[in-house]
């Protein structure tokens, strides 16, 4: 089984509004899969359905061989999510954010501190571990939110618009981290409206517009077309 995600006829209505229109796609294990489209195209709605935050109106989602509607628990244990707005607790320190998240993900007590230190060092935040996050820049909060999403070593990571609003140096650091995580074997589902970001990072890209998949291919072929 080479697919991390399989989506069949996925559909979402909000009342009479059709936000996601009967889409089909698959994400292969070990790839960076880009989900590209303008604001309001259905990107975030699709990702919220893939991560169990939103229930589909119709369709089926298979993640690592599990039907998400019937077997969500084993799937959730294998995934990490970085939402568009950083989900860090600003009143806590960076260290306490990671420890709290590790508990939520049931990381064994004996491993929490080691993993937290490794991540903070990797993400350039070790020196700031005891600083409250309310004093962090947007780029530092984004790096911390990614660290929180991967402390349980997920095999599948969802990233929703990870770099907009960041300075060039922070955006470059986030992209380097995405490449590193993928090189270590993590499958990544990247939602973005930046075609250049998709071009730099993704093995394949799905373009969604008005809730429909317009094309799925490599960035090179999409640009050529």
Question: Is residue 122's pLDDT more than 80?
Answer: yes
Token match 């990247």: residue?
A: 190
The torsion angles phi and psi of 55, rounded to 5 degrees, stand at -90, 130
**From CA 186, how far away is CA 224, in angstroms rounded?**
28
Among candidate residues 129, 194, 118, 125, the one with its CA nearest the CA of residue 159? 194
How far, CA to CA in Å, does 221 sit from each of 105, 210, 211, 225?
A: 39, 22, 22, 6
Greater pLDDT, 197 or 25: 25
Q: pLDDT tens-digit profile of 128-148? A: 999 999 999 988 998 899 899
**From CA 9, how far away is CA 222, in angstroms rounded?**
23
**From CA 100, how far away is CA 208, in angstroms rounded?**
35
Complete edge-to-edge strand list for the sheet that includes strand 187-192: 79-82, 156-160, 187-192, 32-36, 204-209, 212-217
The residue count of the chain comes to 225
> What's the average model confidence in pLDDT over 60-68?
94
Mean pLDDT taken over the chain: 91
Number of Cβ atoms within 10 Å of the Cβ of 7? 24
The DSSP bridge partners found for residue 184 are none
Confidence grade of residue 14 (pLDDT, cut at 50, 70, 90)? very high
pLDDT value at residue 174:
86
The one-character DSSP state at 93 is: B
User: How many helices and strands in the chain, by DSSP H and E?
Assistant: 8, 10
Stated as kind and residue range, the H or E segment containing 18 is strand 17-28
**From CA 56, how far away is CA 193, in angstroms rounded?**
23
Top-confidence range, 41-45, 60-64, 136-140, 170-174: 60-64
Question: How far separated are the first and last CA of the chain, in Å rounded?
Answer: 30
> What's the average model confidence in pLDDT over 56-85?
91
How far, CA to CA in Å, does 23 sit from each of 13, 69, 76, 104, 220?
A: 13, 17, 22, 32, 23
Confidence grade of residue 163 (pLDDT, cut at 50, 70, 90)? confident
**From CA 71, how far away is CA 61, in angstroms rounded?**
11
Confidence grade of residue 125 (pLDDT, cut at 50, 70, 90)? very high
**From CA 26, how far away is CA 8, in angstroms rounded?**
9
pLDDT value at residue 28:
96
pLDDT value at residue 1:
63
Greater pLDDT, 167 or 92: 92
147, 87 Cβ separation under 8 angstroms: no
């Amino acid at each position: 089984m080479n697919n991390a995600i399989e989506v069949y006829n996925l559909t979402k209505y909000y009342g009479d509004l059709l936000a996601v229109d009967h889409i089909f796609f698959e994400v292969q294990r070990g790839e960076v899969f880009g989900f590209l489209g303008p604001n309001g195209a259905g990107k975030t709605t699709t990702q919220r359905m893939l991560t169990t935050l939103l229930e589909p109106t119709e369709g089926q989602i298979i993640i690592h061989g599990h039907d998400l509607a019937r077997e969500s628990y084993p799937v959730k244990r294998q995934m990490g999510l970085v939402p568009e707005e950083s989900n860090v607790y600003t009143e806590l320190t960076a260290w306490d954010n990671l420890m709290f998240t590790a508990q939520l993900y049931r990381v064994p007590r004996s491993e929490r501190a080691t993993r937290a230190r490794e991540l903070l060092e990797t993400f350039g935040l070790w020196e700031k571990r005891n600083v409250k996050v309310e004093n962090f820049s947007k780029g530092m909060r984004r790096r911390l939110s990614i660290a929180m999403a991967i402390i349980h070593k997920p095999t599948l990571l969802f990233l929703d618009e990870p770099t907009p609003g960041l300075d060039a140096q922070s955006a470059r650091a986030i992209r380097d981290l995405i490449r590193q995580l993928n090189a270590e074997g993590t499958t990544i589902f990247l939602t973005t409206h930046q075609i250049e970001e998709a071009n730099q990072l993704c093995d394949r890209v799905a373009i969604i517009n008005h809730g429909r998949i317009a094309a799925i291919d490599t960035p090179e072929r999409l640009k050529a077309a």
